[in-house]
């Protein structure tokens, strides 16, 4: 098993003068990253953060924010990622479950969540919690300049950077990271990882996709940027606003300086539509949602010299398998080929369902018993250590001669800009075929015409919906708040 922070600090010691992270015109070397992470850890220790303390964390990916998150973990604390975009009610429910002793947020969030600025944010569709009071009696850390609304007595990030050569605090098998994934306000659901589970999974990931020292990796994802750093690679962090889905032109400006690009399928679709020249990428990493053949074929055609890796995983275990893009395209059997199992992953098939375990498996779900294995919910078969998915348990529609497994496509559609959530339902007709209806929970910038334009490049032609309808939310049932597809079908049918 691998301690993610130990191998990161080892990488910093190997090449202290080499560039580690760049955002815009600012670059930190590996030596500077080490000094900041350990310095923040010491600063937090001197101000009372104890091993096991949880920190509700709302700082966007940036050089300081990344170092702060790593510094909290190096001090033995636990980062609780908290997205203010989830809405105030959900945010408060998640905070209540996590019970943090600290809050870390950008100063602009303190300002925009209180006083007159809160009304402005609400008019723009942002329901922000009052960061100064969302966790009673919490200690506060703010990044950026001091602004009105910052809690009195809050510690600035800069004040925590104290010179230190100290050792890591806390136990590597203890909780280090909490990521909320789903659930409702009554039952929020969060995955808990340790430094060991993260190090094992992300270390295997870095090795499998061949990240090497010195190459430039473009991503805003911590779970890709950290493997880049432990490999000695140079992490290029996109600036705020360089969203490949919403503002592709600004993101494309960064591609000429990249050797490796990570993109979720919806963002890659937009980038491929916007490209006017062929970037010289060594590797393209695609993950975060199912990677389907239409998008993969376009990526191969537009990036002929680039090695493509399609990543299959989930928050509970990162990743499960990785497929070479050309192997995935060459696969002509039934199902969705997702590649070779990672070395630290053990898998079995139980009643047709893929069950995985291994040293990279999360500790469990917050407030629930420890995990020993994960029932993925994916129907699958394993052939010589390679995994082929056959859809989700019990959810399948028939359209002509095509079996449609909706959960293969819903995460892809939900990643399209303006879509808050997506579900596919099949409504049987008189001849035993299914009318396919795409149900959308629209986001603030929802545009049905743009959605219809995006779908043919992202999902199989046989799965293009007959109708698109919108709803304010989906019916859910059970302790895990699973989508109640039958109830959704009953709701949609009269329309």
- Is 179 part of a structural domain of the chain? no
CA distance 49 to 55: 9
Domain finish residue from 354, 372, 392: 392
How many residues are listed for the chain in this entry?
Answer: 495
- Say if residues 362 and 370 touch (Cβ distance below 8 Å): no
- Is 186 part of a structural domain of the chain? no
Cα-Cα-Cα-Cα torsion 331, 335, 338, 339, nearest 10 degrees, comes to -50
Cα separations (Å) of 494 from 396, 473, 488, 491? 21, 17, 11, 7
Residues 128 and 28 in one domain: yes
Residues 247 and 162 in one domain: no
Largest CA-CA distance found in the chain, in angstroms, rounded: 74
pLDDT per 10-residue tile (average), the chain, 495 residues = 96 97 96 97 96 95 95 98 78 91 93 76 70 90 92 93 88 96 73 97 96 96 96 94 76 92 89 90 92 92 96 93 97 93 96 95 96 92 94 68 75 89 83 80 91 84 88 81 86 84
- Is 188 part of a structural domain of the chain? no
Domain finish residue from 392, 418, 452: 392
* CA R_g for the chain: 23
- Is 189 part of a structural domain of the chain? no
Sign of CA dihedral 246, 248, 249, 255: positive
- How many domains does the chain fold into? 3
Residue 160 lies in domain: 4-170
Token pair 């203010």 in the structure block, residue? 84
pLDDT at 233: 98
pLDDT at 430: 55
pLDDT at 158: 93
CATH number of the domain bearing residue 483: 3.30.300.30
Exposure on the CB side of residue 315, measured as CA atoms within 13 A: 14
Residues 133 and 253 in one domain: no
Residues 386 and 402 in one domain: no
pLDDT at 479: 58
CA distance 410 to 404: 11
CA distance 46 to 67: 17
DSSP3 helix / strand / coil % (the chain, rounded to 5): 30, 30, 40
- Say if residues 371 and 316 touch (Cβ distance below 8 Å): yes
Residues 16 and 142 in one domain: yes
CATH number of the domain bearing residue 208: 3.40.50.12780
pLDDT at 457: 74
pLDDT at 456: 81
pLDDT at 189: 84
Residues 358 and 476 in one domain: no
- Is 176 part of a structural domain of the chain? no
Residues 209 and 338 in one domain: yes
- Is 190 part of a structural domain of the chain? no
- Is 267 part of a structural domain of the chain? yes
pLDDT at 480: 61
Prior bond of 319 cis (ω within 30°):
yes
- Strand-pair category, 188-194 with 216-218: unpaired
Residues 15 and 128 in one domain: yes
Residues 159 and 208 in one domain: no
pLDDT at 267: 85
Domain finish residue from 392, 416, 438: 392
Residues with Cβ < 8 Å from 346, sequence gap 6 or more? 356, 357, 358
CA distance 228 to 37: 17
Backbone angles phi, psi at 36, to 5 degrees: -70, -45
């Amino acid at each position: 098993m691998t301690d993610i922070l130990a191998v990161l600090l080892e990488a910093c010691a190997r090449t202290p003068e080499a560039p580690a992270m760049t955002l815009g015109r600012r670059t930190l070397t590996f030596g500077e990253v080490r000094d900041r992470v350990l310095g923040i850890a010491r600063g937090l220790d001197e101000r009372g953060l104890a091993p096991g303390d949880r920190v509700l964390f709302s700082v966007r990916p940036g050089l300081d924010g990344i170092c702060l998150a790593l510094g909290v973990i190096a001090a033995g604390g636990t980062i609780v990622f908290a997205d203010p975009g989830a809405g105030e009610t959900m945010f408060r429910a998640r905070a209540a479950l996590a019970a943090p002793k600290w809050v870390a947020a950008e100063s602009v969030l303190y300002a925009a969540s209180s006083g007159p600025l809160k009304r402005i944010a609400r008019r723009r569709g942002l329901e922000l919690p009052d960061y100064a009071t969302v966790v009673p009696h919490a200690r506060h850390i703010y990044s950026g300049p001091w602004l009105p609304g910052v809690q009195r007595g809050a510690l600035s990030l800069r004040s925590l950077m104290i010179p230190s050569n100290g050792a890591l605090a806390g136990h590597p098998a203890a909780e280090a990271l909490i990521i909320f994934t789903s659930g409702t306000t009554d039952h929020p659901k969060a995955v808990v990882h340790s430094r060991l589970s993260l190090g094992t999974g992300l270390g295997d990931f870095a090795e499998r996709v061949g990240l090497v020292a010195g190459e430039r990796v473009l991503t805003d994802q911590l779970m890709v940027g950290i493997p880049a750093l432990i490999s000695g690679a140079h992490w290029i962090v996109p600036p705020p606003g360089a969203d490949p889905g919403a503002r592709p032109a600004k993101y494309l400006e960064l591609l000429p300086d990249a050797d490796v690009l990570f993109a979720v399928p919806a963002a890659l679709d937009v980038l491929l539509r916007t490209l006017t020249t062929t970037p010289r990428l060594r590797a393209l990493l695609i993950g975060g949602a199912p990677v389907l053949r239409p998008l993969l074929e376009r990526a191969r055609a537009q990036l002929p010299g680039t090695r493509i890796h399609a990543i299959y995983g989930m928050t509970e275990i990162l990743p499960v398998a990785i497929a070479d893009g050309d192997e995935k395209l060459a696969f002509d059997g039934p199902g969705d080929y997702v590649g070779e199992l990672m070395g630290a992953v053990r898998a079995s098939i139980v009643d047709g369902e893929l069950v995985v375990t291994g040293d990279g498996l999360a500790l469990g779900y917050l407030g629930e018993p420890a995990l020993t294995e994960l029932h993925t919910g994916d129907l699958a078969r394993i052939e010589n250590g390679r995994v082929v998915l056959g859809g989700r348990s019990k959810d399948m529609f028939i359209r002509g001669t095509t079996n449609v497994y909706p959960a293969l496509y819903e995460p892809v559609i939900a990643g399209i800009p303006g879509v808050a959530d997506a579900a596919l339902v099949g409504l049987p007709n008189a001849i035993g075929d299914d009318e396919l209806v795409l149900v959308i929970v629209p986001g603030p910038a929802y545009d049905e015409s743009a959605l219809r334009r995006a779908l043919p490049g992202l999902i199989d032609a046989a799965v293009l919906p007959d109708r698109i309808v919108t709803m304010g939310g989906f019916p859910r049932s059970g302790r895990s708040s699973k989508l109640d597809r039958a109830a959704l079908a009953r709701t949609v049918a009269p329309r």
